[in-house]
Amino acid sequence: MSSSPLIVGIDQGTTGTTVLVLDQRLAIRGRGYCEISQSYPQPGQVEHDPEAIWQSVLTAFAQARGQSGPSEIAAIGITNQRETTVLWDRETGRAVAPAMVWQDRRTAEMCDRLRAEGLEPLVRQRTGLLLDPYFSASKIAWLLEHTPDLRRRAEAGEIAFGTVDSFLLWRLTGGQVHVTDVSNASRTSLLDLESLQWSPEMCRIFGVPAALLPQVGPSSGRLAVTHGAGGIPDGILLAAAAGDQQAALFGQQCLRPGDAKCTFGTGSFLLMNVGPRPVLSRHRLLGTVAWQTATETAYALEGSAFVSGALIQWLRDGLGIITQAAESEGLAASVPDDGGVTIVPALAGLGAPHWRSEARGAIFGLTRGTRAAHIARAALQAMALQNVDLVRAMEQDAGRVLTSLRVDGGATANNLLMQIQADLLGADIVRPAQVELTALGAARLAAEGAGLAVAAAVATDSDATIFHPRMPASERDRILSRWREAIAKA
């Protein structure tokens, strides 16, 4: 086992926390995972217990450290579910309310009101984001209005706000550091995308007291050191923090403008590096900070499809046509095509570039000859077709043509889905051999922040599986035409 210093990547996600311990060749020396539960108090509401989040980090860290051996940990990097909002007492460090998860939609009415007041163009211009409950600012406002005495305490400086990275950094330092990184800050609707500082104008619009906010720091650098963090030793350099999708972009080594990746999870998250200046989308994509290191600030365009892997879960849990998600590949491969079936997976509305919250899921083209296999194949196509829409919008915004797309996430194990994605996009799909690229991206950022030399790349193309498009253009055009018609009807 290597005796070189180790690097830890903490990936605090929506359903659990993964911790990787890596050496300087980026080989995994230890891995820990701890699931966390979500609660749904009312329709449209999604919450986490912040204490459960913290305990999941300690548990996963202990598991990973138990496997990694005694070598010294040189640096820790954090990546996290992004817009999820935590408010806590500065004196006790305890959360004053459940965390409002990024999926929570209870602030839709507030966003609608601000939109009716004509404020969305200003919000987009300043922050790169749309008016949507997805982002943190409206969640903060809701908590301040619906938790007794909280607004007064917030204005008095007694309460701290953070996305999950900020909450974890507070806990890892025993309350000595209240900081977030630019990539997470850019998901709040409160950060000026040009200056990379909190915008007093946005704070006023959303009713967020400036006293709540953390300091904005880089994604990679000497952020703090651990202190009083329970099972995590004191004195370890905290050298990186980044939102999960930005960390995956870095982990995929999408370091040049035009490089793009798609993470296939519950939803699909597609990001393109657009270089050192923000790009304001003309197609209602999101402008966001990709990362900031000692040598560069990189921006990205992002598009999200709300339902991706969740569509396969629906085939399993809702329709019962499969018993395990992995069965979708074999079932879909048992027929040569979709049999004329098109699925619009608007089970939670349509995300970018459509942004139609009123849209509902639909299945078109059913006949007496339709079988479960056709529906399974149409589901895989729907996952891919959403990404085609996102890529085409990004290409127009960025003025670049995508020739390959790097992918990660659990659903990328489905070879048929990856081939369908290549066919419908008309571009190579590159699946690296290393799949835990979010935690790996955090570790790479931490290594850079700590000045450690690490392996030059996550994986060379010789290590990756590449899916080349092989569908005739006429067939692709036919499927895309049916898709556009179905989207218009949903």
- Rounded distance, CA 444 to CA 432, Å? 16
Average pLDDT over every residue of 127-138: 94
> What pLDDT score does 105 carry?
87
Average pLDDT over every residue of 353-381: 91
Structure tokens at 16: 């659990």
> What pLDDT score does 2 carry?
47
Strands 428-431 and 465-467: antiparallel
- Residue 448 identity (one-letter amino acid): E
Domain with CATH 3.30.420.40 in the chain: 6-245, 253-431+460-490
Average pLDDT over every residue of 397-412: 88
Question: Which DSSP letter does residue 105 get?
Answer: -
Q: pLDDT class for 459, splitting at 50, 70, 90? A: very low
Average pLDDT over every residue of 338-353: 87
Average pLDDT over every residue of 292-303: 94
Strands 16-22 and 297-305: unpaired
> DSSP string covering 410-459, please?
GGGG-HHHHHHHHHHHTSEEEE-S---HHHHHHHHHHHHHHT----S-S-
Query: For the domain bounded by 6-245, which CATH number is listed?
Result: 3.30.420.40
> What pLDDT score does 305 carry?
86
φ, ψ of residue 319 in degrees (nearest 5) = -95, -25
Report, in this order, helix, strand and coil percent for the chain, each rounded to 5: 35, 25, 40
- Rounded distance, CA 51 to CA 144, Å? 20
- Rounded distance, CA 299 to CA 272, Å? 8
End-to-end CA distance of the chain: 56
> What pLDDT score does 457 carry?
52
CATH fourth-level superfamily of 253-431+460-490: ATPase, nucleotide binding domain (3.30.420.40)
**7 pLDDT exceeds 50?**
yes
φ, ψ of residue 155 in degrees (nearest 5) = -65, -25
**461 pLDDT exceeds 80?**
no
**324 pLDDT exceeds 80?**
yes
- Give tens-digit pLDDT for 184-221: 999 999 999 999 999 999 999 999 999 999 999 999 99
Percent of the chain with pLDDT over 70: 98
Cα dihedral value 478, 481, 483, 487, nearest 10: -170
Average pLDDT over all residues of the chain: 92
- Rounded distance, CA 34 to CA 117, Å? 44
Average pLDDT over every residue of 76-86: 95
Q: Reduce the DSSP state of residue 385 to 3 states and report it.
A: helix
> What pLDDT score does 420 carry?
97
Average pLDDT over every residue of 358-372: 91
**23 pLDDT exceeds 70?**
yes
Question: Which DSSP letter does residue 24 get?
Answer: T
